[in-house]
Structure formats: C-alpha cells, structure tokens
Amino acid sequence: MRQSKFQLTLRVALVATLISSGLLFVNPARVRGDEGEAYAIRGATLVTVTNGTINDGTIVIRRGLIEAIGAGIPIPADARVIDGKGLTVYPGLIDSYTNLGLRPPPTPAGGAGRGGDPTQAFLAQLAAPPSTVGLLPETRVVDELQVSANTFDAQRAVGITTALTGPRSGVFQGQSALLNLGAGTSAEKLIVRTPVSLNIGFSGARGGYPGSLMGVFSFLRQSLLDAQHYRETWARYRQSPRGMTRPEINPSMEALQPVIAGQLPVIFNVSTVREMKRALALAEEFQLVGYLHGATQSYQIAEHLKSKNATVLLSLSFPQKPSGLENPEDEPLAVLQERAAAPGAAAALHRAGVRFAFTSGTLSRPGDFLVNAGRAIEAGLPKEEALKALTLYPAQIFGVSEQLGSLEKGKIANLILTSGDLFAKETRVRHVFVDGHKFDIKAPEVPRAAGGAAPAAGPPAAAPRSNLGLAVGTWALSLQTPAAEVSSTLTLREDGETLSGEVSTPFGSAKISGGKLSGNELQLSYALNVQGQELTVSAKGRIEGTSIQGTMEAMGQSFSFNGTKRPN
C-alpha cells in the first residue's frame, strides 16, 4: 500500500514538473476541437452601425466571435489575413420573417410521397375530421427544421446571415426560431434563439375551421380566454391543493401561458388596415406583446401605429405590375395606388417614429431583398435607417442585440464583405462570414436589376387585351395537405370577360369556365369525378408576376396551394 501511494505521488510530481517546465502543455482551446480558424480582415472600410464607420480598419475573428475591431489593430500571428482594400464590411443582414429550413409536410404511410396512391391519401384526408394543423400553439418550429450544406446558399449570396423562420399557414403557426444561415447539417447548431415568438395568421387553418376572418378572431379570443382560465385554475390549485381535484395538463394552454404573461411575443401576419387594427386591438385586450408582420398597408395608418407603440416587421415583397398588361388603365385604381405607395411604407413609418425591421415576405428571389430595400431608400427612407432595419433593429426586436446586429467586439462573427456601398446597384457581395465560418461568393444568384423585375423567360407573347393576361397561360400548382402534396397543371385562356380552361390532377381532369380576375385576385371552380363521386373544388389565389398562392376548398376543408407560371 505504501508503495502504491509513493508511486502515485511520484507520478503527480513528474507531471507537475513537466507542466511547469513547458515540456507538457495542454491547450484548452485545442482540446475543445471547435475553435475554428482565426481571420483578420485588414485595410477595409468597416461600417459598424453602432459606432460609426472605420476607414482602413481591421477586424479579427476567432472562435466564431469578433475578437477585435478598429484602426491599427495588431494582427495575430495565427490569423489568416484577408486583404480588405477596396472592400466594405457590414454586419450580416437579418431577415425578420421567413419559412427557411422547414421540412415539407409529412406524408403518412401509403400516401403519395411514399409510393402510395395519392388519390386514396387525398380522399382519406377529405373524409377525415377537420385537421388540427395550424391550430396548436405548442407546435415548435425547431422540430420541423431540416437543413443541408446548401440550404441557405441563395440567402448568403446576397448577405443574409440570420433569419427568423416559421410556417406560414394556419392560425397558430408555431413557435419561431432565429437561425444563423450557416452550412451545418445539424439544425440545432444553427439556432441562435428559440422560441422567439408565437406566430399567428388570419387566413384560417387547413381543415375548414376557422375559415373566415371573423371565425379566426373568435377562435383566437376563445383560446386566450381559455388560457387565462387555465392559469387561474392552476393558481388556485397550487395555492391550496388539499381537497381539490388536480387539473389536467393541457399542452396548448401551457404553450399560451408565456404569451398571456407577456413573456413570449406574438407575431401577427397581417396585410390590410383592417387586419392590423384588429390585431392591435386583440393584443391590447389581452396585454400581449404583439408585432405586425407584412403590414403592406401600414403607410396608411403610420400615426395610429405610433400611438399604439406598434412594432412592424415590414415586408419587402412589393406588389408587382402584371406582366403582359397592354394598357395600365385596365387595372383598378386601388391596385395602382397600392403598388405605387408600397416602397414608401418604410419612410412613412420612420417619419412617424414607428419601430420596424425588414422581412423578405413572399419574395421568390433572395436577390430582390436588397433591391427593394434600395427602392425604399429612393422613396424617402434614410440610408442609415435602411441599414439598421436590416441589422440592428431586428436584433433588438428579437432580443439578441448583444450577439448580432452590429460590428462590435464580442459579438457573433456574422458579417459580409462587399465591393462597395451595400445599396448601390453595381455592388456585389464578395465574402460572407456566419458564426466565424467564411463563405466565398462567386457570383450573385440573379442579376440585381433595378426594381427586381424578373428576367424574361422567353420570346414575348402577344399582348392581351385586358388584365386577364395576368392569369392566361399554364401554371404548375402544388396543393399542400397533411395527407399528401398534390401536383396539378392549370391552363387558363381568355374567354370574353372571363377565364376558361382545364385542370389536370392525379384524380382526373376537369373543365373550367367563368373564372374571374379582379386586379391580381383569381377565383375559379371546377368539378372532378373521383371514383364515381363528384368533388367540387373552388380556388382563390393572388398572382404576383409569375407566382401564385392561395387556398382551395373541397368538401368543407381548406388547403393552401402555390404555383408558378410556365414560360410561353
């Protein structure tokens, strides 16, 4: 026993001697194995957002963080040096509302997505009780994330390094997550914060109820009232449980507790003045922390929004002029006015003192994110405010301003290197850092043409006589249902004052007549013969350029769809 103790003492003394003499040195950072590379960007123009602009500055990155920033900063010996001469460094851009990184809706066994019969899967869904998809506030976006190394290539190419992500259908759309748009295949490693908010939509839920704006608000109010009652019931039980029957745990009511306590913000997906005012009234009634997302008509009530201390996540998906429209007078005046006013919404909010940040909204091309921010500047928004609406302001709104939103020591190394002024049309993004990892951008995803107009798909078609030409053509549609994703082809032709054509689906084909187009709002219906049963389908959708999205209803159930117009 004495010999064992002596040997142990000798070994400890030997190790201590080796360490003290420098012969044995363990680097804690190296043991971690995840420190990443060190970089030094030297001689660049650094736009810090919070502390002005540093000319001929240096920024050092290590372990995913900004280690040092300033003029005359010494460059560490182990850092990879990037010559920043002629380049401008900005904080990484933040997209304040997206559905990036979400996996497609699940397809049950035997469904279309797994080799089964799509007709049977879809009919089974129609016959099933109304779905709860989009009605459950406990839904967590982090459970639906699915990313790969290339998932966010297009966003990084235009400088977007962080995004708030969440589904876009239903009433209770899920608890959102803020992601850094790196190239990791593990979604958990990309999460900056979750949950950030409970997202709420006013378009109704898949499953038929609630299917109207009035029904949605009734459902929301009742859910919040139930959550208050649930809180009071449990409070009484916890205070004096003896002699009381224990209340049941309700996941939906539990998920709403931080919402009604003002601890978890609510993001309302709204567009019109009516929706915005109703959302603010609901938030005021239940003392919710509420943000308005989309808010394309917010310029009309900017002073009212300020009086309510509202926060707006303003969409940069501006209304588009219909392609192939021969005479602008064919469009309703209200449509023309809204399209002209949309780029000025940010300036109106700024003048009124409303806190806001930019989102991509329903933009189909990430390249238009900066293009349309530039249009907001042309419409009167100061350039420095536009930059803050893409960086610092969303970081503050989402509670991560100590991590993101500006170039400061200790913050996450999300930054972009550009060839010049961020909002200049000729500027290109050269390099992007996300969590300290460097991405070289070879070329922009699409040409950044002024106004974000889509490139021509082919030889121009003959100009139509009215705005029905916006809908005329062949559309590839995708109908989203819990049972299956159903693809179909819709062909529309001008037929006097209405639209006619046909639709081809996995269940058969049907003729369409009497379709209507009001502005860019399409309405049509058709009847399918499915296994001897007549199935009447009605569809409503909004056309934006060559894209369409909306809802289809059949047998009392509602399903979202989207699609693109095929080139002529």
Please report whether residue 75 resides in a domain. Answer: no
Shared domain check, 474 and 432:
no
464 and 433 in a single domain? The answer is no
Distance of CA 15 to the CA centre of its chain: 54
Residue 443 belongs to some domain of the structure: yes
Which residue, 319, 275, 320, is CA-closest to 293?
Answer: 275
What is the pLDDT, as a whole number, of residue 144? 85
393, part of any domain? yes
Instruction: Answer yes or no: do 275 and 377 share one domain.
Output: yes
- Regarding beta strands 311-315 and 290-294, do their DSSP bridges make them parallel or antiparallel, or are they unpaired? parallel
Q: What is the pLDDT of residue 283?
A: 96
The per-residue DSSP string of 170-225 comes to SSEEEE-EEEE--S-S-HHHHEEES---EEEESS--TTSSS-SHHHHHHHHHHHHH
The predicted structure's pLDDT at residue 24: 36
Q: What is the pLDDT of residue 19?
A: 38
Do the domain assignments include residue 423? yes
- CATH (domain of 478): 2.40.128.120
Q: What is the pTM of this model?
A: 0.72
Q: 129 and 158 in one domain?
A: no
**Average pLDDT per run of 10 along the chain, which is 568 residues long?**
48 42 36 61 97 96 96 94 96 95 58 50 51 71 85 93 87 92 85 95 59 80 94 94 92 95 95 92 96 94 97 92 64 81 96 97 87 96 98 98 97 97 94 95 55 43 56 83 71 86 83 82 81 73 79 68 77
**494 and 363 both lie in a single domain:** no
Domain count, the chain: 2
The answer to whether residue 156 is domain-embedded is yes
Identify whether residues 151 and 237 lie together within a single domain.
Answer: yes
* Domain final residue pick, 452, 483, 499: 452
Instruction: Report if residue 33 sits inside a domain.
Output: no
Note the pLDDT of residue 506: 77
CATH of the domain at 284: 3.20.20.140
Q: What's residue 555's pLDDT?
A: 58
The domain boundary residue, chosen from 452, 468, 489 = 452
Task: State the Cα–Cα distance between residues 363 and 369, nearest whole angstrom.
Answer: 8
CB 300 within 8 A of CB 334: no
On whether both 354 and 494 belong to a single domain, the answer is: no
* 288 and 307 fall within a common domain: yes
Q: Which domain holds residue 292?
A: 95-103+145-452
Sign for the CA dihedral angle at 221, 133, 537, 362 comes to: positive
- Domain membership of residue 208 (yes or no) is yes
Q: Tell me, what's the pLDDT at 207?
A: 45
Residues 301 and 159 reside in one and the same domain: yes
207 in a structural domain: yes
Please give the pLDDT value at position 174: 87
Residue ending a domain, choose from 452, 470, 499:
452
What is the number of H-type helices and E-type strands within the chain?
14, 26
